[in-house]
Structure formats: C-alpha cells, structure tokens
Amino acid sequence: MAVFKNFTSTRTAPVPDGEAPRTATGQAVLPRRSQIKSILPQRGSARVSPPVTDRTAPSAATTSWFQLKQKMHENLLEQMNLSIIDQVDTAELRREVNAIVLQNLEDEDVSLGSDTFNRLINELMDEVLGLGPLEPLLADPTISDILVNGADHVFVERKGLLERIASGFHDEKHLLRIIDKIVSRVGRRIDESQPWVDARLPDGSRVNAIVRPCAIDGPSLSIRKFSADKLTMDKLVAFGALSEEAAIFLAAAVKARLNILISGGTGSGKTTMLNALSSHIDRHQRIVTIEDAAELQLQQDHVVRLETRPANAEGRGEISQRLLVRNALRMRPDRIVIGECRGSEAFDMLQAMNTGHDGSMTTIHANTARDALSRLEQMVIMMGSELPMSAVRSQIGAGIHLVIQLNRLADGRRRITSISEVTGLEGEAVLMQDIFAFTRKGIGEDGTVLGHFGPTGVRPQTGDVLAAAGYALPADIFRDAEGPN
C-alpha cells in the first residue's frame, strides 16, 4: 500500500496539537513529502510491529479499536526512522504523525470523529515517544505507585490505597516492549538469563521489573513515582507525618552532622524522608550518594552521584555498593549518603561513620528501630568476616546516632512512628531511647488511625553535641505534653 499516494501539495498553516492539517476549504490534507522524509528509513529497513492498546475505548468496540491502533502503529514504525526520532521537534513530529495516520485511515476507508482521532494520535504519540499505556498514569499526580501484574492486571496506589484500573496493554509482548524500553534507557537489560532488573525513569521514579521464568504469570512491573512537588520537612509537618518539634530536632541533627539511619517497611517513605533531611545539609559540603538505582533528589550543587552496575551476560563486570562505598572514601566526601543498605556495604558504611565522615545517612528495611540495628548486625555478618559480635555492636553504638522509624499505617498514611537515639553499649547490648514517638489511640469512623506524635520527655544525650555545634534547642521541645495531633 502506497502510504503517501494522493497527497496534496497545498501549503498549510501551523495547527494546534491534536488537530489534523486542513486546506482553506477545511479538507484534511497531508504535508509536503519534504516535511516527512527526514524521519523515513532507507528502503529495506526492518519492520517492527508491536501491538498497541487502548485504555479508554468502550468495551463493545475494544477489539476493533485495538486492531485499528495496532495497524496504525505498525505503519508508523514501518515508515519512521526511529534512530533519529529524538532529534525531531515534538510538534513537527505530531504533524507528521497526523499526516501519516490520515492517509492510512483514508486508504482503509475508516472515518473517525475529531475527538476519537485526537485520542488515537495521543496514544500513538505515547507509544512512539513514551511508555505507551503508562504515560497517562505517570502524568497523574494523584498516583504514587503503578503495579502491573501481567498484561491484564494493572493496579495503582492513590493516597496509600490500591485500586485496580483497566489494563492498557494488549498482550504480554506489548508489556515486554515497554519494559525493555525503560531498562535500555539506563543501559540495563532484562531477558531469560537476567529475568529481573532495577532501573529508573528520567524523572527519578524507581522501577523494578521481573519476567519469565521467574514471573510465573507473566511480566511484572512496579513503578514508585516521585512527586514533581518535592516534599520538604515543612510539608511533612503539614501532612501530619511528624510534629514541628520533631522537625526542628531533626534539622538540627542534620546540621550538626549526626549519623542517621532511616528505617521502615516497603513504601513507608524512607527515600522521601532522606530527601527531606538532605535539604538541611550545608551547601558548601561535598556529598557522595551511592544507590542501586539513582533516585535521590538532593538539592545541593556539590553532589557526586554513583550507581551500581549489574553483571553482564557472562557474569562479569558487576560493581556493587560496597565497591562504590570504598571508592567514595577516596573522593574526599564530607558526607556519604547510601540510598539503601542491604548487604556487606553496611560494614564499610559503619567504618566511614566512625572515621571522620560524620553526618552520613542511609536507609534500611526494618519494622522497628531495634530491628534496624539487628539487621545491620546481620549484614556485617553476611560479609563473611570473623569479627566478634561485640566489635560489630561497638561499631554500631559509636557510629549511629539516631534511628528514624517510618511506617505505613492501616489507613494508608505514611508517618514517623519514632525517633530514637543510640546511647552506646551496656555489656554487649546496644542501648536506645525514644526521643519522639507515635502513640496510637484507635481507629476513627472513617478508618483513619488516631494517635498522638510527640516527645517522650527524654532529653537526648546528643543535646550537648547539638549545642557545641551551635544548635542548642530549648528544653520545651522535649517536654512530654500530650495534645491533639
């Protein structure tokens, strides 16, 4: 089929996004061939034709809509030179897509209304330039997580609660193509030999994907979105995640360069809290961040971001967090920030905290502050060293100053449940005391968890350290005066 047959040479004025070019008489026309050839491939280019889907088409017409979109998408991919598509202006590319689709609809003798045509163009643009059915979900500010359990099951999280939505994926191949598009952008791969991968989107959103044979029911994709509106400590206080007094204490702790461990379960807000705390770091200090998949969004100018690398197909070339921590120590850092401690790098992190890199921070998966310290012990043991447990606990007692525990409550809200101080060792036991804590009071009629977050009445031993650093805090901040939260 000749895609560009019967095109008119009538010059057209620029048109708004989503509208087809038209002649002076109002008839839809195609642009000149010279406007299109810049993205056409050479003859004999390989044809790529993944399926395309629709998220909003009426159920009675779903099959025909899928087929139409798939055919239009196949034709676009057949005619476009995808290797230079990123060099074409989006508005110009949209006009060219409009023209090609109009010609194909004419050849197929298909008539579409203006709204339907615009929807078709929008979804084809998402497929060509973006992540297809994921694009509207990524653009929705109310969605914090996108969970794809196979091509037919898509869930999103809004305000801490999960809900199922209509799947926008046509089949497993379509989902696999989107996953491959995500991971290839950051130089990673996913296939049967490496069936899972951690990656990130350009905006910093965290991505995890796993495919067959490990994913029995088909590819699974999890996206933890990062809000474009950065959450500061003031905003966390306004949302009720912690009290104003606790925010003042934490700000002073970061400025005074206390070492902080942020603990919590999956989706409890650990990375958000780490980003918020980092805003109090002096902008003149050199910060080195180390992550499996880069997602921290520090606001300082002097930041060096390091990211791990998985092994290649031959099992070589892996760069672990531990190797990066060791390298970071040679980079003259003022502070080291590890996105998440999950293995033997915990030992090197403790070493750094005990050898002059004060003010370092990291996160860890644990249900309580006490469990967080136990997990640190286990990670050091996993390293395979023969260090006695007393030496490990001594490192923890001397290196960690504060443990911030976060939890996702039953009503979906994320909040700090305790801020604990590590006070040292007694025998072989690491001692801790809660400075601030959340006390649950019950469940409201609307399902909201009721409770009070405030000081426990214990004055922290680190108060002298804060005062010496010029951040003396009034005693009222730590006075136990329970009130409404």
Q: Where are the domains of the chain?
A: 33-129, 135-224, 233-478
pLDDT at 370 (0 to 100): 94
Q: How far apart are CA 34 and CA 51, in angstroms?
A: 29
**Mean pLDDT within 338-348:** 87
Kindly provide the residue ranges of all beta strands, DSSP E only, lying in 332-468, ordered along the sequence.
335-338, 361-365, 402-408, 414-426, 429-443, 449-455
Q: At what angle do helices 345-353 and 389-399 cross, to 10 degrees?
A: 50
Query: Across 109-113, 162-166, 366-370, which has the greatest mean pLDDT?
Result: 366-370
Higher pLDDT, 44 or 339: 339
Cβ atoms of residues 257 and 358 within 8 Å: yes
Predicted local confidence at residue 311, as pLDDT: 80
* pTM of the model as a whole: 0.72
- Average pLDDT of the chain, as a whole number: 80
Strands (E), 125-178: 143-149, 154-158, 161-165
pLDDT, tens digit, for every residue of 169-213?
A: 888 888 998 898 898 888 788 888 889 988 888 887 889 999 999
Across 23-27, 240-244, 343-347, 415-419, which has the greatest mean pLDDT?
415-419
Q: Where are the alpha helices (DSSP H) in 228-355?
A: 233-238, 244-255, 270-278, 321-328, 345-353
The more confidently predicted of residues 308 and 6 is 308
> What is the Cα 411 distance to its own chain's centre?
22
Instruction: Please give the backbone phi and psi of residue 21, each rounded to the nearest 5 degrees, phi first.
Output: -65, 145
Helix and strand counts by DSSP (H, E) for the chain: 14, 15
Structure token pair of residue 417 = 């449940």
The answer to whether domain 233-478 has CATH 3.40.50.300 is yes
Cα–Cα distance for residue pair 67/122, rounded to 1 Å: 16
pLDDT in tens, 294-337: 778 887 888 999 988 888 767 788 898 989 998 998 899 999 99
> What three-state secondary structure class fits 367?
coil
Asked if residue 422 has pLDDT above 70, the reply is yes
The two tokens of residue 454 are: 């405030």
Q: What b-and-e string marks burial along 207-232, b requiring 16 or more CB atoms within 10 Å of the CB?
A: bebebeeebeebbbbbbbbbeeeebe
Chain-centre distance for alpha carbon 142: 15
Q: Is 451 in contact with 438 (CB distance < 8 Å)?
A: yes
pLDDT of residue 44: 36
Distance CA 403, CA 196 (A): 31
Give 6's pLDDT tier (boundaries 50, 70, 90): very low
The confidence score (pLDDT) of residue 117 equals 84
Please state which of the ranges 5-14, 95-104, 409-418 shows the lowest mean pLDDT: 5-14
The confidence score (pLDDT) of residue 228 equals 66
pLDDT category, 253, cuts 50, 70, 90? very high
| pLDDT band at residue 222 using 50, 70 and 90 as cut-offs | very high
- Written as one string, the DSSP assignment of 11-43 is ------TT---B-TTS-B-PPPHHHHGGGPPPT
Q: Which fold has domain 135-224?
A: Beta-Lactamase (3.30.450)
pLDDT at 104 over 70: yes
pLDDT reading at 257 higher than 80: yes
Q: Is the pLDDT of residue 453 over 70?
A: yes
The encoded tokens of residue 281 equal: 């770091």
Q: Would you place residue 26 in the very low, low, confident or very high pLDDT band (cuts 50, 70, 90)?
A: very low
Per-residue pLDDT at 434:
96
Q: Mean pLDDT lowest for which of 263-267, 296-300, 389-393, 405-409?
A: 296-300
**Concatenated DSSP letters for 152-217?**
T-EEEEETTEEEEE-----SHHHHHHHHHHHHHHTT---SSSS-EEEEE-TT--EEEEE-TTTSTT
pLDDT at 481: 61
Weakest-pLDDT range from 143-147, 371-375, 384-388: 384-388
Q: What percent of the chain clears pLDDT 70, i.e. is strictly above it?
A: 83
Residue 24 binned pLDDT confidence (cut-offs 50, 70, 90): very low
Bridge partners of residue 262, in order along the sequence: 363, 404
